[in-house]
Amino acid sequence: MAFSDRLQWVPVATAFPATLDTLTDPAKLKDGTSPDAYGLGLDKPGVLYKAACPTGTAQVKATKTIGANTWTWYYRRLWRSSAANLYYNAPEYTTSELAQDLGVLSFDEDAQAITGFIPFSNDSLFVAKSTGGYRVPNADSLGGKFQHGDIVECMKAAAQTNIGEINDVAYVSNASGLFSWDGQKISEVSAPARGASNFVSQALTTDEQKRRLVLGTSGVFEPWSGRLYGYSGTAFRFTTRTFTVGNGRLPFPVKGVAFVVDNYGAANGAIKFQVKRDVSWEKEITVQVRYTEGGRVFVSTKLDFTPAARQFAVRITDITGNIGIREIDIETFQPDTSEGSLSQ
């Protein structure tokens, strides 16, 4: 195999923060996607930096107590659940119970109790049980006589806290992951990271200003971008996609790794990382980042030994809180065009 005779820096990661995809072959991922990442900051587009899981707030809702029962105020009427029944009061009645028509909608396809309900899909209610979810259409109607559709088993939720809504879409986090339903289309939102505990059976809150769904303290989903992010306490990790030449057929050498870094404070910092050639992650390397007036620097380090490999990846294991990475580069000899080029 012929290589060019000139070393060159090749960008391998520039799109930050990267969404999580644990199922796709890392050699098939695109920039902006990581097979293994957590603790990423989300509020500086184009920058890789360390941050804790964002926080969200519970849904704003009004409740009323009538006698021994607590009701929730949606669509100009009071609602409450008991066992497998959803009770509804007459419109505008908030101080006394007055049933309209039957005053109750039963979800008795099985014996399981209703675990929660929220408005969604513009005019509907989403009702959850531990065995599935339902849509009650036209829940904003003042005429009553409500009906519900068939059970949707993947939209099951163990508790009210496992249900969320943003932009009129209902979400549930259950033992299989994070799912969404807009009243028509149902999606397995966490499918790219299926099985990751970050999105399983988590309490759901929202950051309405930034349009984020927050899963406990372990995950975030951005409906507007379709991106998933994981968190693990204060820990941090970012792994690049895997790089190959000729679809993994051709070995290539990597001589060094470099970072384009922004400094957000007048202090030095450090980046800790590992590289993987083919199979194994090698020993951790620490690169010092000296503060420079203007804030942006290019820091690089040579690798101790540079055997050719058919696959190569970089994994950042820690980064000082005052710095952020704009770009990750590797120093390599590019193969001649006839032999193929560095992919992904």
- 87: domain CATH number is 2.130.10.10
Is 60 in contact with 48 (CB distance < 8 Å)? no
Query: Which CATH number do you get for residue 277?
Result: 2.60.120
Check residue 5 and give its pLDDT. 59
Instruction: State the amino acid at position 178 in one-letter form.
Output: L
72 shares its domain with 198: yes
Task: Give Cβ neighbours of residue 240 (< 8 Å, ≥ 6 apart).
Answer: 12, 13, 34, 313, 314, 315, 328
DSSP 188: E
Listed residues 230, 246, 271: the one ending a domain: 230
Residues 306, 246: one domain?
yes
pLDDT value, residue 305: 79
Query: In this predicted structure, what is the pLDDT of residue 2?
Result: 46
The domain boundary residue, chosen from 175, 207, 230: 230
Residues 226 and 86 in one domain: yes
Please check whether residue 260 lies inside any domain of the structure. yes
State residue 334's pLDDT score: 66
Longest dimension (CA), the chain: 85
> Residues 243-294: pLDDT tens digits?
998 888 889 999 999 999 999 888 999 999 999 999 899 999 999 999 888 7
Dist CA 239 CA 225 (whole Å): 20
User: Which residues of the chain carry a pLDDT beneath 50?
Assistant: 1-3, 337-340
Residues 133 and 213 in one domain: yes
Q: For residue 85, which phi and psi values (nearest 5 degrees)?
A: -115, 145
Instruction: Judge if 114 and 40 occupy the same domain.
Output: no
Q: Would you say residue 12 lies in a domain?
A: yes
Q: Are residues 136 and 159 in the same domain?
A: yes
Stated pTM of the model: 0.93
Please tell me whether residues 69 and 208 are part of one structural domain. Answer: yes
Residue 150 lies in a domain: yes
Which residue segment(s) compose the domain that 85 sits in? Answer: 62-230
Number of independent structural domains in the chain: 2
> What is residue 183's predicted lDDT score, i.e. its pLDDT?
95
- My answer on whether 82 and 144 are in the same domain is yes
344 belongs to a structural domain = no
| 26 and 77 share one domain | no
Three-class secondary structure of residue 271 per DSSP = strand
